[in-house]
Amino acid sequence: MAKKQKIFVLDTSVLLHDHQAITTFEDNNVAIPITVLEELDKFKVGNDTKNFCAREVIRFIDRLSGSGGLQDWITLGKGKGNFRVIMEQKPKKLDAENIYAEGKNDHKIINAALFLKESEPKKSITLVTKDINLRIKAKALGVIAEDYETGKVTIKSEEKSNTIEGVDSEKIREIFTKGRIDENGILGANKLTNGYYILKNGKSSSLAFFNHAVDQIERIEKEFVYGIKPKNAEQAFALHALMNQNIKLVAIQGVAGTGKTLLALASALEQAKQYNQIILARPIVPLSNKEIGFLPGDASDKIGPYMEPLFDNLKFIKSQFGQNEKKHKAILEMQESGKILITPLAFIRGRSLSNIMFIIDEAQNLTPHEVKTIITRAGENTKIVFTGDVHQIDTPYLDENSNGLAYLIDRLTGQKLFSNVKLEKGERSDLANMANDLL
């Protein structure tokens, strides 16, 4: 039996997530409702990534149409399917606006899919949206609905262990005395470029790093970095990656209280002389997803509450030193001179990042496209650090498989300029650990 031809109907959330989405469905046909074009028009002004995506999609459709129209199917190119815009057509049988409510854009988008089901009965119609509620409503009316899968990664339920048991005791003694040993198959299947390990033999153990450039395992020691000492093996690994000049891109993942941002900031302060500026940024995810422009006060008042956790980390590091100590004064000087900049991520869009240590907090709230955009702006002598928890997503159209941090780790693990460290143990307090474990 011949396979049914497919038509994918895309909603606005997909196009704002990936401006190239229209071209990612191989040889299948793609349609967008006129309602989606109207919504894109509302997003085209601004400096956020969603505004950029809206503009790019509108330009792409304009180029595609040329001097012709869009109500009939037009080709997307060689090896691709066709494309059209669905006008505000009412389906003859089921009408989402009659069943749910009139005038709502989501229901108009469902109607576009229902119209295609009636007018193209020999084809399979699928609504693609990152809006979970829209998918549920569509399915309730018999429309196949699914998430946009391009760029999604699979979270491995069983990750490779970084503890290597049964290492020859002579090798552990040698790494303690010499600081390094040849790899010679010690890591086995766990061998990974820029990987971190605990080498064990009974009660003897050593923290280690695999240096792929020389094919050697190097010993790691727990050392103070700007007043902060690692409290566990994973924190020692993270600080090593952050301080390693050969690793230009670092991802640190872990639940709240594991010390991700604190370690990144402490290492940046330790290396301040090597960079022109230290930038600590995070994406702003407003409560109830309302734009911060509606909040009272000037720009500083609006963003203050969102940036406070980053200032808290800086205050904690300052508190490790007396007010008259050199390192305490150095932090104050860097803040006053602008060498340390704590800012919303949107405020630095478009900047060229040269001679900078750039720390992006809460990176799980970024899209894969946003992560790529940040990294591709890196100039000479720039180090970029992404921190976050892939399981704690604050934006409505991302999940643990489609967020930028998960995408970054999946695509770049094993590359010579990249290292990923997962912090397991919370170090904030016993109370915080109890909540993470039991609630």
pLDDT at 428: 75
pLDDT at 283: 86
**CA pair distance 310, 300, nearest whole angstrom:** 15
**CA pair distance 374, 298, nearest whole angstrom:** 27
Residues composing the chain: 439
Answer for the pair 279, 341: CB distance below 8 angstroms, yes or no: yes
**CA pair distance 367, 378, nearest whole angstrom:** 18
Strands (E), 259-339: 277-282
User: Quick one: which of 119, 44, 122, 40 has its CA closest to 86?
Assistant: 119
CATH entry, 5-146, from 3.30.540.10, 3.30.43.10, 3.40.50.11740, 3.40.50.1010? 3.40.50.1010
pLDDT at 289: 44
242-438 matches 5-146 in CATH topology:
yes
Answer for the pair 383, 407: CB distance below 8 angstroms, yes or no: no
Q: 396: which DSSP letter? A: T
pLDDT at 395: 86
pLDDT at 290: 47
Domain residue spans in the chain?
A: 5-146, 156-221, 242-438
Q: Give kind and range of the element (H or E) at residue 368.
A: helix 368-375
Helices and strands (H, E) in the chain, number of each type: 14, 17
> What is the separation of C-alpha 104 from the centre of its chain, rounded to a whole number of angstroms?
31
Query: Mean pLDDT, the chain, as a whole number?
Result: 89
**CA pair distance 39, 319, nearest whole angstrom:** 49
What SS3 string covers 67-94?
Answer: CCCCCCCEECCCCCCEEEEECCCCCCCC
pLDDT at 301: 57
The architecture in CATH of the region 156-221 reads Roll (2.30)
**CA pair distance 433, 428, nearest whole angstrom:** 7
**CA pair distance 282, 262, nearest whole angstrom:** 14
- Domain boundaries 242-438, corresponding CATH code: 3.40.50.300
Strand partners for 127? 9, 145
**CA pair distance 310, 359, nearest whole angstrom:** 11
User: Quick one: which of 265, 260, 243, 343 has its CA closest to 300?
Assistant: 343
**CA pair distance 49, 299, nearest whole angstrom:** 19
Answer for the pair 62, 42: CB distance below 8 angstroms, yes or no: no
Strand order in the sheet with 340-344: 340-344, 277-282, 356-360, 383-388, 249-254, 418-423
> What is the separation of C-alpha 84 from the centre of its chain, rounded to a whole number of angstroms?
32
Cβ neighbours of 326 (radius 10 Å): 8
Strand order in the sheet with 5-10: 74-75, 82-86, 29-33, 5-10, 123-128, 144-146
Burial of 300 (0-12, 13-18, 19+ CB in 10 A): exposed
What are the residue ranges in the chain where pLDDT is below 50? 158, 287-290, 294-295
pLDDT at 390: 92
